[in-house]
Amino acid sequence: METFEALDRPGKIIAVHLSYASRAEQRGRRPQAPSYFFKPSSSIAPTGGSVERPAGTELLAFEGEIALVIGTPARWVPVERAWDHVAAVTAANDFGLYDLRGADKGSNVRAKGGDGFTPLGPQLIDAKEADPAGLRVRTWVNGDLRQDDTTAGLIFPLAQLVSDLSQHFTLEPGDVILTGTPAGSTVVVPGDVVEVEVDIPGGPSTGRLVTTVTQGEIPFSDVGAKPAVDDVQRAEAWGSREAAGLPDKENPFTDELRELLRRTPVAGLSAQLRKRGLNNVIIDGVRPNQPGAKIVGPARTLRYLPNREDLFKSHGGGFNAQKRLFDAAGNGEVIVIEARGERDAGTLGDILALRARARGVAGVVTDGGVRDFDTVAETGLPVFSAGPHPAVLGRKHVPWDTDVAIACGGAAVLPGDIIVGDSDGVIVIPPHLAREVAEAAFAQEEEDAWIAEQVAQGQPIEGLFPPDAAWRERYTAWRKKQ
């Protein structure tokens, strides 16, 4: 088996930003297509070497990866022939310094380009012996396994990466493609030993790529951007806020508030929002697919454009915006779809409804149609829509983007707005008003129920609805006894 040192220094090192489903799940975003950045060849380091955490920084993180070594020139290579241009596979560690991500603004020149930031090796696996869908990458820190995934978990197959890059420039012999890291990447500190291994389970292995973290002594000067970190970078570098030792973000939408909103009619919420000057918060023209359906939750938004054949060709197929959102929406969230009030095409069907149900989605609101209407209802997923329609998405719509401000049924909906729906309709509540409005509406509903009881007992409406001072005093006395 050949060692990496037998190769010349590569002319190009191209790295993929996000390629494993496990990492995308951790980051809360799933790309539609691969994106890349370059690393300098001076960042390469052999196994058994060290990587320096620069003085004045704190967030050096490892990323165990599979590296592809190009064997023959590749330009405009179709996916089905792309693997033929790969000579070998080896292990890589794509170290990154999160302290400099802000300064880089996405380029990764400083954050990922430091000397020693790309250890490779120690041995090569002949690509002819490897099934590109059957490779495994594992990473250990101080002997503890931190990453363990296979290329079966890739969003973009390895051959697709080679083919895609060859559209833009010639891949030359010796060039290296770093194919992304799975979940489990986290911060390492001086003294830590990181080991990465790529293998074919039960077959050839690269051996362990060993790197020791050391502490740098020379601080960055004022000639350029200085390191800077915040809690967002800490959470991303460590993998989560919990791992970074940060308190959970304050979430105003608590389980208690969800339950309060669930017990409060939309009509009452509408009245309270109107008192606060918000009249255009009703999603018009939608009805529930199940009698008595109720939805409560923060909005995740999906926007459709009017269908245009060239746009549908580029955005309608594959893992499009529609599928990405249904595959990512989380427990208790409400998917809200802008379909421009177009009733003559479906905006979701039974498969997406099943996926949303499995993800714990609280419901879907669309001002368009729904395919497989009865089957969707049978899934138990509450859906508020303009009604059934058998046509597929491409008849009227192009799935365009997600988690943006949209217009649904004449109402503006922002990601994170609180959506509440019942048999009266669907309302949009700004998050900062949700508790105030819910408590006021619930209190009003209680009062209205008491008034209704008085009317049922034969009391006249005059002076009672709304209550005058005398009736208000009676109600207050009743409340104190409860």
Q: What is the DSSP letter of 246?
A: P
- DSSP state, residue 159: H
Q: What letter does residue 373 receive in the DSSP assignment?
A: H
Helix axes 350-358, 321-328, angle to 10 degrees: 30
Q: Tell whether 371 is in a known binding site.
A: yes
Relative to beta strand 64-70, strand 176-178 is antiparallel
Nearest to 63 by CA among 180, 197, 205: 180
CA atoms within 13 A on the CB side of 9: 9
Enter the tokens of residue 146: 């931190």
Q: Is 269 part of any known ligand binding site? A: no
**Residues 70/175, Cβ–Cβ less than 8 Å:** yes
- Sorted by sequence, the CB contacts under 8 Å of residue 263 that are 6+ apart come out as 442
405, two tokens: 């401000």
Q: Are 139 and 146 within 8 A, CB to CB?
A: yes
Report whether 349 belongs to an annotated binding site. Answer: yes
At residue 210, the 3 state secondary structure works out as strand
Angle at Cα 54 formed by Cα 197 and Cα 38, nearest 5°? 55
CB-CB neighbours of 369 under 10 Å: 24
CB 82 within 8 A of CB 74: yes
What is residue 20's DSSP assignment? B
- Asked if residue 372 belongs to a known ligand binding site, the reply is yes
Which residue from 253, 250, 385 is spatially nearest to 330, judged by alpha carbons? Answer: 253
SS3 category, 21: helix
CA R_g for the chain: 28
Q: Which of 185, 197, 167 is nearest to 36 (CA)?
A: 167
154: which DSSP letter? Answer: B
Which are the contacts of 51, defined by CB distance < 8 A and separation ≥ 6?
Answer: 45, 60, 93, 95, 114, 116, 117, 119, 211, 212, 213, 214
Residue set of the binding site for substrate = 349-352, 371
Residue set of the binding site for Mg(2+) = 372
Residue set of the binding site = 349-352, 371-372
